Amino acid sequence: MSLRTAVALVLATAAVVVVSVHSSTAADLRHAPTREAMEDLVERARVPGVLARAEDDGEVWHDAAGVADRTTGRERRPADRFRIGSITKTFVATVLLQLEAEGRLDLDDPVAVHLPGVVRGHGNDGRRVTVRRLLNHTSGIHDFTHDPAFRDRYLSGRFLDHRFDTRTARELVRIAMRYPPSFRPGTGWAYSNTNYVLAGMVVEAVTGRSYARQIEQRVLVPLGLRRTTLPGTAVTLPRPHGRAYSTFYRGRPDEGRGRPVRDVTALDPSVAGASGEMISTAGDLLTFFRALLGGRLLPAEQLAELTDTVPTSGSLRGRSDRYGLGIRARELPCGTTVWGHVGDIHGSLSTVAATRDGGHGAAFNLNADWAPHGTGALLEAEFCAGAS
């Protein structure tokens, strides 16, 4: 298929959409593998649309495949906003590291020092759980999203009846506290959204202001990230934006075919809170990560802590996968290691990554949540093209 030719695609609901790809720079050849990976997600995984932006040695490239809206056929645009899910965690971790640099907390403080009585059953009434162990997921605290009742209400088709529910941080933590720890704090690794809900609560306890306000003042305003927001309980996306789609199925794409595609654009993101509520653009995400890795947001000591990693519970295609403080170090099959995060929330799957020096970065968004391995393919295409 020609890269500049529109083709018809029949989606799971038998709606016909047009797939089109646009390049905004003269870097078509350099990014051809990335474009092909984007088209593959649209054609094979039946993702409605993919948005991309890459920056390398001063060159900016952005591209899109598929559509932003399955009903109107509107194409995806570089300025489109989307929900970034767990990429929110990197912003929260950055604020806590800044607070440590200011002497307002220590990462090895027990969480109980700042949130007495909130964490229970994790050794000495939670005193073995430190701020650092929240940020690198070595706390052992149960993930509230694994609770069967939560999953039934918010991660299944029943979500359509509960999409506007408002949940508080303390409610989400209480769900997690019903369960024993997965392991003794500091002795294992397990990704838990509860860790970052607690981290957001620590920010508020230390500063007297919400984590959202702290992110705005400390990160968004200094970097000029005007298109990045923390919606709280607001259910709509700021314009411009496309639509977000879900089949409420996260397994293999071929097994999920035939399931109805639902529009889940509007939702109350308090169901994720500090673990995943934010909205941004590909351009703003790249600006943030390149500034973070480039030392513009943290002193050298805290930047070293950010990138001090622990092994995760698994590997990716036999390669190293390690987690720092709100950031992941992922070794790609070509041997290149990129630093970033993936964000997954209803109808939106995003990833942003950059080389350690921030010189080469890329951000992607899928306006669908049923192709969890798709972001890995995009990163490999972008960072491994031409690698020896």
Residue tagged active-site, from 2, 20, 24, 86: 86
The structure tokens listed for 180 are: 């024993």
86 is catalytic: yes
Residue 121 DSSP class: S
Give the distance from CA 29 to its chain's centroid: 28
| Whole-angstrom distance, CA of residue 136 vs CA of residue 324 | 6
Instruction: Identify the residue whose tokens are 């595609």.
Output: 261
Residue 220 DSSP class: I
Of 269, 254, 220, the residue nearest 83 (C-alpha): 269
Query: Which DSSP helix (H) or strand (E) runs through 345?
Result: strand 337-345
Strand partners, 349: 344, 366
Residue 369 near residue 347 (C-beta atoms within 8 A): yes
What is the length of the chain? 388
Of 247, 203, 209, the residue nearest 371 (C-alpha): 247
Instruction: Identify the residue whose tokens are 């500034």.
Output: 291
Residue 219 DSSP class: I
| Whole-angstrom distance, CA of residue 307 vs CA of residue 320 | 14
Specify the pairing of strand 348-354 against strand 360-366. Answer: antiparallel
Amino acid at 3: L
| Whole-angstrom distance, CA of residue 212 vs CA of residue 270 | 12
Kindly list the distances between the CA atom of residue 215 and the CA atoms of 51, 89, 97, 203, in Å, as whole numbers in the listed order: 25, 11, 12, 10
| Whole-angstrom distance, CA of residue 93 vs CA of residue 91 | 5
Kindly list the distances between the CA atom of residue 212 and the CA atoms of 127, 181, 218, 275, in Å, as whole numbers in the listed order: 26, 28, 10, 12
Instruction: Identify the residue whose tokens are 């970052």.
Output: 196
What residues are annotated to the active site?
86
